Amino acid sequence: MKTTQVIMALCAVFLIGVGAVNAQSSRSDLQKMYVSHLQKQGYQPEIDSDGDIEFKAEGNTFYIIVDEDDLESFRILYPSFWEIESLSEKAQVYNVVNYINRTTKIAKAYLNSSEDNVSMDVNIFIAEPEDFKPHFRRMVNLLIAERREFIDKMNE
């Protein structure tokens, strides 16, 4: 009985180790795929300290969030594009964020309360990791357009 338990424990340790190696490999593979695609599109991407892919489009900084635990998801983050300068402005920001989230298909805006700013992202589900490619430019354009919409609404 004890021999069986020892063998099962060793198998579990082995499988966990193999999973960790595969996850690391998948992360590296995702990074290479994203960087290669961005370079082919004319961007100059960099891998940041978190392992995500940073790139600029039309003067704006975006991040592809590398998530090796969910290969059927692809996310682009547009961080901290609006600084909240007062408590009264924060109330208006809530209204505009709600408007953006209600009227936009896949973009979502949100307040980073600890930093008093607004970020936005787009997230899609895909069958295979490389399936992000035909959607990439539209996702970036959507973030840029929704930022403009956000600013317009804030200035009304």
Give yes or no for residue 95 having a pLDDT over 90. Answer: yes
pLDDT (mean) for 122-134: 97
What pLDDT sits at residue 113? 76
What tokens were used for 148?
């403009």
Scored b (16 or more CB within 10 A) or e, 24-41 reads eebeeebbebbbebbeee
**What's the whole-model pTM score?**
0.82
Measure the CA angle with vertex 50, ends 44 and 53; round to 5°: 25
- Please, is 100 exposed, middle or buried when counting C-beta atoms within 10 Å of its C-beta (0-12, 13-18, 19+)? buried
Q: What's the gap between Cα 36 and its chain centre?
A: 17
3-state secondary structure of 69: coil
Give yes or no for residue 14 having a pLDDT over 80. Answer: no
CA distance 147 to 81: 8
Give yes or no for residue 141 having a pLDDT over 50. Answer: yes
Give yes or no for residue 123 having a pLDDT over 80. Answer: yes
What pLDDT sits at residue 5? 53
CA distance 106 to 120: 10
What pLDDT sits at residue 90? 93
Give yes or no for residue 136 having a pLDDT over 60. Answer: yes
What pLDDT sits at residue 7? 47
CA distance 40 to 33: 11
Q: Where are the alpha helices (DSSP H) in 78-131?
A: 87-103
pLDDT (mean) for 21-42: 84
